[in-house]
């Protein structure tokens, strides 16, 4: 009898529990709400934080497109967005070196070189600003702002170009003007 009892006991203890699905008393709906209300960073982490927390790009209101198993979008490979773009940037940058050094060496530039300097600075700025816009205003994050800034950047090339065209034709030119204001 004692032997039987131990066998049964062993069987009972070895029997796998049926409670594989552990559920709490909290209904799913409340659990989801509680998750959403929870502060972004738990108290445990806040305890280690001594300074004010500043996130570099806090998430904006989310809009889920497609589903989580969609493949990442890869833009079409195009040399005008890659190697040509890169090379154009370098050519403009390198071209600006003699044009910025020349006024220091030989005084003011001829109107033609002065105009070239203005034009290259505008192109250099356009490419520089577009890199900044691409970096800080990603399409997936702020699509509207990105469009707006890209358009403003494009428009500015013509507005500023026109402005400097007027300045170069009606005034003394950019290098001479800087020289006069600087030594005033």
Partner 1 sequence: MLPQRMAQQTLRRLAVQNPAYRFAIPTAAVASTNAFRLQRRLVATQSVSPEEATESILAKQRLVRPVAPHLSIYKPQITWYLSALERVTGCFLSAGFYVFGTLYLAAPMLGLHMESAVMAASFATWPLLIKFPLKAFVAWLFTFHGFNSLRHLVWDTASAIQNGTVNKTGWTVVGLSVASALGLAML
Residues of this chain that bind partner 1 (CB under 8 A): 8-9, 11-13, 15, 17, 19, 21, 23-25, 27-29, 32, 35-36, 38, 40, 51, 53-59, 61-64, 67-68, 90, 93-94, 97, 100, 121-122, 124-125, 128-129, 132, 156, 159-164, 166-167, 171-172, 176-177, 180-184
Q: How many CB atoms lie within 10 A of CB 160?
A: 15
Q: Does residue 85 have a known ligand-binding role?
A: no
Residue 47 or 182 having the CB closest to partner 1: 182
Paired tokens of 181: 């204001």
> At its nearest, how many Å lie between partner 1 and the CB of residue 171?
5
Which residue's entry shows tokens 């390198």?
94
> At its nearest, how many Å lie between partner 1 and the CB of residue 76?
25
> At its nearest, how many Å lie between partner 1 and the CB of residue 113?
17
Nearest alpha carbon to residue 103 among 39, 169, 179: 179
Which residue's entry shows tokens 């003394």?
172
DSSP secondary structure string for all residues of 100-111: HHHHHHHSSPPH
Residue 57 or 144 having the CB closest to partner 1: 57
Say if CB 133 and CB 150 are below 8 A apart: yes
Distances (CA, A) of 111 to 97, 118, 157, 169: 18, 10, 20, 9
> At its nearest, how many Å lie between partner 1 and the CB of residue 68?
8
Give dist(CA 177, CA 166) in Å, integer.
Answer: 14
Paired tokens of 48: 């280690």
Residue 66 or 76 having the CB closest to partner 1: 66
Three-class DSSP category at 150: helix
Residue 68 or 72 having the CB closest to partner 1: 68
> At its nearest, how many Å lie between partner 1 and the CB of residue 47?
16
Residue 72 or 76 having the CB closest to partner 1: 72
Binding residue positions for a ubiquinone: 136
Binding residue positions for heme b: 124
Binding residue positions: 124, 136
């Amino acid at each position: 009898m004692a032997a039987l009892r131990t066998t049964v006991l062993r069987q009972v203890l070895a029997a796998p529990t049926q409670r594989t699905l552990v559920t709490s008393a909290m209904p799913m709906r409340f659990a989801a709400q509680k998750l959403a209300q929870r502060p972004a960073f738990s108290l445990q982490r806040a305890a280690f934080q001594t300074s004010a927390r500043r996130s570099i790009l806090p998430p904006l209101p989310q809009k889920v497109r497609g589903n989580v198993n969609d493949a990442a979008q890869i833009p079409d490979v195009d040399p005008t967005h890659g190697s040509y773009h890169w090379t154009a940037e370098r050519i403009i940058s390198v071209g600006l070196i003699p044009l910025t050094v020349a006024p220091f060496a030989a005084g003011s530039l001829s109107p033609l070189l002065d105009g070239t300097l203005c034009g290259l600075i505008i192109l250099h700025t356009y490419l520089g600003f577009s890199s900044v816009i691409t970096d800080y205003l990603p399409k997936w994050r702020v699509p509207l702002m990105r469009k707006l800034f890209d358009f403003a950047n494009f428009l500015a090339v013509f507005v500023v170009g026109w402005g400097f065209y007027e300045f170069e034709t009606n005034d003394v030119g950019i290098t001479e003007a800087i020289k006069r204001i600087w030594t005033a």
